[in-house]
Structure 1
Amino acid sequence: MRSAFHFEGLVWDWPIAVYLFLIGISAGLVMVAIMLRRGLPEAGEPQSPVMRATLWVAPLSVILGLLILIFHLTRPWAFWKLMFHYSLTSVMSMGVMLFQIYMLTLAAWLAVVFRAPLNALVRRWLPPLLPAVALLERFQRWLRPLEHLMLGLALLLGAYTGFLLSVLTSRPMLNHPVLPALFLFSGLSSGLAVAMLAAARERHARTLHWLHGLEMPILAMEIFLLVAFFAGLWLGDDGKVRAFGAALGGGFWSAWFWWGVVGLGFVAPILARWAIRRRPGLQVAIACGCSLVGVLMLRFYILYAGQMTLA
């Protein structure tokens, strides 16, 4: 049976697209939170809605994404072997190593940032652990270097989602040098959308205004990378030209791109900003919701359209 979601040559299907989307949200949200702490320090305090969203969404989206990936594998119960046996020639193995370092660093960074609420929580429910929590105060002076490391790891993780697809070298559309950067900025866009949804709950609009300043540059970079991505296909070898025709030459996935990725992901948020001015909360909800759906649809589009053409 051949259809848009079932065709010969399909290796990775929809759970991988959801996995890539969730990982991008985590990496993007961490990058936005760190930039916010630098650009608007008062908005980076533990009581900030953006930081509270980062506390829960950043680690849980990675955990959920990894669970989807593990149970999608042929032998999910053997996945633990990848956590202890590394191979520098395996993209999957290197990704597991990156996830482990990322999660450990993320836990350390969040623990230092939320050390006061964590101390109060432990004091009330687990008093014997107070000496361990008190050690976090000593790490306060290392917070800035820790954030530098966290930002670098988030950048690597966001780009890794694009590198992961490049292992399918027999698919000309996926074997593309622009793909890691495209996935990095689309992940940053999804992280920004989550941050803005959280910031919309604040009484003061200063945080939301600051985040709005990131919106257009990130959107412009996404569009530029998409144009560069398709230009590379159009001007490439025979396999890439065929991939370009299959992806944008009409059919289900071409319509998916124009109506979903471009229409819903790019145009709809801009129209929402212009049309819904008197109700800021509704404006942010619609614009950010469309942006998140657009990023998810981009992941589906690249994954499926990219596997339709063989080299």
Structure 2
Amino acid sequence: MSALSDSGFEEDIQSPSPSQQNTQWAEDANERLAAEWQHSDYQESCFIIQKNSEQHFHASHCLARQPQITAEARCKLVSWLIAVYKHFKLSFESCCLAVNIVDRFLVTTPVAADCFQLLGVTALLIATKHVEVCSPRIKHLLSLCCDSFSKQQLCNLECLVLLRLNFRLAAPTLAFFLDYFISRELSGPATRTEAGNDRKSRQVTEEQLCSARRYKCLARKVCELSLADYAFNKYQPSVIVQSAISVAKDLLRRHLKESTVKDASLAEMLDFLRVEDDSSSGFDNHSAIQQCTEELKLLVSLNQESIQNLIALCNSTKHH
């Protein structure tokens, strides 16, 4: 008879791994819900709620009272968490929430340097329980730490983290605002076309959907870079996302100019998005967005190789 683990999950049963169970379900669900999300008032209501609560979950200067944890250590941990969430094929939302949990816990409690990785996997476990259909098993998470920690240590820290955060886990994240702003931009041109009489309503083709995925993938990569850099901890997630989207547009436009292969679907999509650049963003802190955008451009230039590899991978995936 199988026994419950300390975290309340029955780990001895032979259930599918999270990477097998979550990925296809999530992809299918995203495709089914995309149209409803773009054309419903629910999207705007969620955005207003998340934007209003953003400040309450923002842990700026979280290292101010940490004697042993440095910005470099945080960068290494977050970069490792990004690799882990991709290894388990978790959602970007889980990764963002895990980093938010780490930062907010650092505000409340001093952490020893040799326990920092344990805090990272504990935060990821909590985040996946909140977000995913099936969270990774504790033994799999601990194996990625070279079994340096025990299950009991992780479960004890899990309880402490939840107590310190008062069980408040519904934090606005980069992932939420990324979905919101990109869906708004992609649905915006269609709305304007239907309202106007000078152009016909366009049909969304598979190539255009592919271009939109490449656009979002690149913007998510820029967000990941900012997630690991403590210098961006002072900006709220909504500011970072809008800046990351602006940087992603510039990167794709530059790629189109330099590329010898014409990509009509990507060029058409960027042409529609240019109209969004001139419209109001809905934010009252434009100076912070502009400053964040400039800093993101510098960060991207320092990671140019990985960005170019991502663009090349997107192109090879499209053509094959």
TM over 0.5: no
TM-score by length of 1: 0.27
